[in-house]
Amino acid sequence: MKGSRIHGIVRELRNENIDVINYTANATLYIQRALSPAKITTIKINDDGTHARVYLKPDQVSLAIGKGGHNIKLAGKLTGYEIDVYRESEDDYEDVSLEEFADEIDHWIIDELKAIGCDTAKSVIEIGAADLLKRTDLEEETILEILEILKSEFE
């Protein structure tokens, strides 16, 4: 009820701030939640499953790292990944939110893509058709159609 259990814990810790993060088996989404409030553009997890590369816009980097590097260290311990933060250059082409494609792509498909941590066109394109097929419940034909729509935005 309105955080009453959390308030009890905070009082026990002498008003130390705490963050509560919902667990998910989806590593990309879990890392994204752990680095909140930073808005992550792209997350790439290495095949070995121990390293993650997180790409952010320049104004989001300090939020992800946190004061004294505490946020990034805690996120790494929490998720079990060694997280490397990369700043996207200003020269990269502008990304577009998936919400802007609502007239061309059904909303349930956009929700499916967001569930795996993709909230921009660029993040979906970079994952590729094969990974999208594995990570979502979408059919191959639908995925190829979505990728064509998103790629046409950057041509």
Q: From first to last of the 155 residues of the chain, give the pLDDT tens digit.
A: 677 888 888 888 898 878 888 899 999 999 999 998 899 988 999 888 889 999 988 888 888 988 888 899 999 999 999 999 988 865 555 778 888 888 889 999 999 998 888 888 888 998 889 889 888 888 999 999 999 988 887 76
User: Residue 58: is the preceding peptide bond cis (ω within 30°)?
Assistant: no
Do residues 107 and 143 share a domain? Answer: yes
Beta strands in the chain (DSSP E): 40-45, 51-56, 82-87
Model confidence over 125-136: pLDDT tens digits?
988 898 898 888
Whether this prediction's pTM lies above 0.85 is answered by no
Residue 80 belongs to a domain with what CATH number?
Answer: 3.30.300.20
Do residues 64 and 33 share a domain? Answer: yes
Domain-embedded: residue 13: no
Answer yes or no: are the C-beta atoms of 112 and 136 closer than 8 Å: yes
Do residues 110 and 137 share a domain? Answer: yes
User: Given 87, 107, 124, which residue is the final one in a domain?
Assistant: 87
* Six token digits for residue 42: 């792209």
